[in-house]
């Protein structure tokens, strides 16, 4: 994919995305505009399907919607609320640890800088970027497996890890697309450009894709 073609691709995906499911963390962000709920929802979503994440987040936030309320819960209560998300026991402990740090180090406020968010145990660059972009509307590029895979499949970047993809995109992706890029590619990746046997025959941007690494396809 040539650099100048990315604008056309983004325009097409904006039109198509209305018929696809919105990523769960984006749904939480649109409903609450709360950086804390975005942070916790993102942690719950790791290695978990959106439908499971959404139900778990709803149950948990009925019990506690702030760091101060969350630390009053026992780990077992959080585990029960978020089950069956992946690694629910580990995530329950991580949530409590993060909430304690938010209270002790940030007066209960979720940081709005990526470097500060990365100081919280269990928070990686994907989560930090989502909080900054969806929670605070600040520039950032969230790169998950969909964004990493599709950006390379298109031939728009040539990278080996999600972190490399993020920094490569920061250099070449027009800044006006940074915040929405993750949402568009996650929806696109879940519905069309799947990891195995992507639906190339029905892909709205097939003509711009270099199909790097694509074997079997539909």
* 144 noted as active-site residue: yes
Question: How would you classify residue 29: left for phi > 0, otherwise alpha for psi between -120 and 50, otherwise beta?
Answer: alpha
User: Which one of the listed residues 115, 126, 199, 216 is annotated catalytic?
Assistant: 126
Residue 22 is given by DSSP the state P
* 210 noted as active-site residue: no
User: Which one of the listed residues 37, 91, 144, 183 is annotated catalytic?
Assistant: 144
E strand or H helix that includes residue 143: none
Cβ–Cβ under 8 Å, residues 146 and 25: no
Question: 174: burial class by Cβ within 10 Å (0-12, 13-18, 19+)?
Answer: exposed
Q: Where are the beta strands (DSSP E) in the chain?
A: none
Positions marked active-site:
126, 144
């Amino acid at each position: 994919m040539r650099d100048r073609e990315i604008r056309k691709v983004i325009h097409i995906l904006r039109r198509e995305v209305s018929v696809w499911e919105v990523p769960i963390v984006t749904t939480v962000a649109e409903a609450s505009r709360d950086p804390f709920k975005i942070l916790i929802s993102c942690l719950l979503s790791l290695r978990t399907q959106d439908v499971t994440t959404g139900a778990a987040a709803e149950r948990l936030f009925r019990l506690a919607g702030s760091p101060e309320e969350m630390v009053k819960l026992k780990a077992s209560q959080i585990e029960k609320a978020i089950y069956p998300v992946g690694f629910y026991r580990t995530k329950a402990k991580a949530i409590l640890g993060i909430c304690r740090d938010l209270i002790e180090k940030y007066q209960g406020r979720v940081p709005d800088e990526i470097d500060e968010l990365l100081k919280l145990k269990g928070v990686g660059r994907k989560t930090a970027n989502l909080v900054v972009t969806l929670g605070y509307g600040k520039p950032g590029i969230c790169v998950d497996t969909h964004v990493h895979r599709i950006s390379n499949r298109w031939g728009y970047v040539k990278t080996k890890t999600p972190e490399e993809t993020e920094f490569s995109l920061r250099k070449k992706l027009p800044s006006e697309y940074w915040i929405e890029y993750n949402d568009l590619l996650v929806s696109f990746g879940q519905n069309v450009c799947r990891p195995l046997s992507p639906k190339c025959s029905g892909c709205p941007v097939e003509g711009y894709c270099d199909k790097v690494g694509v074997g079997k396809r539909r």
